[in-house]
A and B are shown apart, each in its own frame.
Chain A
Amino acid sequence: MSSATQSIGGRSRLVGTPHRTVAVLRHIALRGAAFIYLGALVVLPVAAIITKGFGDGFATFSHAMAVPGAWAAIRLTLVTATVVAAINAVMGTTLAWVIVRYRFPGRRVLSTVVDLPLAIPTLVWGVMILVLYGPNSFLGKAFDALGVRVLFTPLAIVLALCTVTLPFVVRNVQPVLLELDDAEEEAAATLGATRRVTFRRVVFPAIRSAVIAGTLLTFSRCLGEIGSVILVSGNRTGHTLTAPVFIFSLTSQFRFAEAAAVATFLFAISFVLVLATSKLVKTREVSE
């Protein structure tokens, strides 16, 4: 509750004293700076994309989606994002649980390692996957012998995406778990509930919105991920070409309007999901 903003709204006849004028100007200047910074650097580019892609209605979008492999790319991206989000929801929660609730040697190391994808460039992850599953490595040769192809398949895409999104659910759930009061779970135990039942009935409802938020973040990230995917997927049109790489190929062909149309489409999906989930989370929290 800053005093200067209070007086801006009030019927104060005291406006005009030097220190107050300075305070008001300062507030306006800071707010202006914030708006200009975000306006120029965030709003403007987004507006540019939307205008470029849908400036003349859906015509550009239809052209873009008429390119062979376009719909396949969208489909592939949506499917892999869903799969990875689901996997992450489970494994991320498991990881968070293990790190918070259990004591074992190497726990702190595990917690630190989980953050690696936040630090190491996505392209580097792609390269490392190439090396690990490539023809020259132990693992790569083993898979070859089994007749399993990892690289340049949708499996590689899922693998890469799981890698770079690994921390998201974990980091969202961890603080919530830390804050949980043991007392509720202890009460459930004294009433005869097994660990599984306690988790389902007592713990999970409490962490549900954190899991959802993390899963959504994962999904959203997968929709746009390129660095880790572009090298390992092989980018075969219709098979392993994802939407972001498709957009990239359009830009390489200088088909900017079409690229913008597809990009806006992806952004819209992300955006709608974010809105829906934040509303879902909010109504849940209100009723709790």
Chain B
Amino acid sequence: MSVAVSTQVAKTRRGRRTMIVLAVAWVALLLLLPLAAIVWTVAKAGLSSVAHTLTQPDVLHAFQLTAIITVITVLITGVFGVIVAWVLVRQRFRGRSLLNAIVDIPFALSPVTVGLAAVVLFGPGGWFAPFFAARGIQVIYALPAMILVTIFICIPFTIREIVPVLEEIGLDEEDASRTLGASVWHTFFKVTLPNIRWGLAYGIALTTARAIGEIGAVLIVSGLIQGKTETATLFIYRAYEERQTAEAYVVALVLAAVSVGLLIVIEVLRHRQEKERTRT
């Protein structure tokens, strides 16, 4: 393109190029280089090292624990997320804005604080400690506390994704469904739910990523009992602290790979959501 242009146009074009380069460089430096570094390091250590790590019982248990916590978290935040979103959008009552504000609290708290709260509630001398101790249920330094803190942290995701969708869709289709004789439940499952499915899916994807990556809160409530209350992230932490760097890197890379896969799913979902929004 060797068309003559004014200095101002040329300057604008240079400016544009600079901005693009700046943006790409920023992202490359902060995000891509670290990824490249760990891929390179693990690759250098060789496939056998990877295989060795991934067959260790501690590692397998850690992955399993992460999976269990994530699934339970997704289920609970999913179901209750839909309920809360529904109540926020479709009902009018005093205290609605309060409820709305409460939903955002988990985003304002450090995960460490969340873990601490669990200790205060369920730990030795805690508010609910006698209740659970009497029934012989171990909450803190065990799976239940880890699940609870992960749920706390993931609460806003589904709600914040579903609320705008519910608002945008409006009541008409639901009204139409009722005039055609459908019960409220039938209307919800056949009309409302399909309409919010992308928002819900997106929220679930975000929840999954967050639950897999949780470290701060579980660090406090798990007790770090190797082989029993160690999630994948906790394994990485402990392994690194104990200088088992090779294993830490392998597990870290596995988590990164899973997350990237999840991200691709998220992108596809978002793309479909956009497509649908522009279609209707």
Do A and B touch, yes or no (CB under 8 Å, in the complex)? yes
Taken together as a complex, chains A and B put the C-alpha atoms of A248 and B155 apart, in Å, by: 23
Also in contact, A119 and B30, with CB within 8 A (given A38-B99, A41-B148, A195-B12): no
CB distance A124 to B263 under 8 Å?
A: no
Chain B binder among A65-73, A106-114, A144-152, A201-209: A106-114
Query: Is chain A's binding surface mostly helix, strand, loop or mixed?
Result: helix
A49 to B105, CA, bound (A): 13
Q: How far is the CA of A48 from the CA of B117 in the complex (A)?
A: 6
In contact, A122 and B215 (Cβ under 8 angstroms): yes
Are the C-beta atoms of A231 and B240 separated by less than 8 Å? yes
Distance in angstroms from A216 CB to nearest chain B CB is 10
Q: Are B108 and A271 touching (Cβ within 8 A)?
A: yes
* Residue from A26, A46, A114 within 8 A of B105 (CB atoms): A46
> Which chain B positions have C-beta within 8 A of A270?
108-109
Identify which of A121, A163, A194, A251 contacts B119 (C-beta below 8 A).
A251
Residues of A within 8 A of B236 (CB): 123-124, 127
With a cutoff of 8 Å between Cβ atoms, the chain B residues found around residue A1 in the complex are: 92, 171
Select the stretch in B47-55, B130-138, B189-197, B254-262 that faces chain A. Answer: B254-262
The size class of the interface chain A forms with chain B is 35 or more
Q: Mark B22-36, 1 if CB is under 8 A from A, else 0.
A: 111011001111110
Which of chain A's residues 249-280 have a Cβ closer than 8 Å to chain B? 251, 256, 259-260, 263, 266-267, 270-271, 274
The answer to whether A31 touches B87, judged by C-beta atoms less than 8 angstroms apart, is yes
In the bound complex, do residue B20 and residue A131 qualify as a contact, i.e. CB atoms below 8 Å apart? no
Cβ-defined contact, A41 with B152, below 8 A: yes
Contact partners of A163 in chain B: CB under 8 A: 30-31, 34
Query: In the assembly, what is the distance between CA of A104 and CA of B16, in Å?
Result: 11
Per the bound structure, the CA–CA distance linking A46 and B108 in Å amounts to: 11
Cross-chain pairs A/B with CB under 8 angstroms, 18 sampled: A27-B91, A30-B91, A42-B106, A51-B120, A94-B23, A110-B24, A114-B31, A118-B209, A120-B255, A121-B213, A121-B255, A128-B256, A131-B249, A139-B33, A224-B109, A248-B220, A256-B120, A263-B116
Query: Top 10 closest A-B pairs, CB basis?
Result: A224-B110, A121-B213, A45-B117, A128-B34, A132-B37, A119-B263, A119-B259, A226-B216, A263-B113, A227-B215
Told that A1-B171, A95-B26 touch, could you supply 7 new A-B pairs with CB distance under 8 A? A45-B152, A97-B19, A121-B259, A128-B256, A132-B34, A159-B30, A231-B240
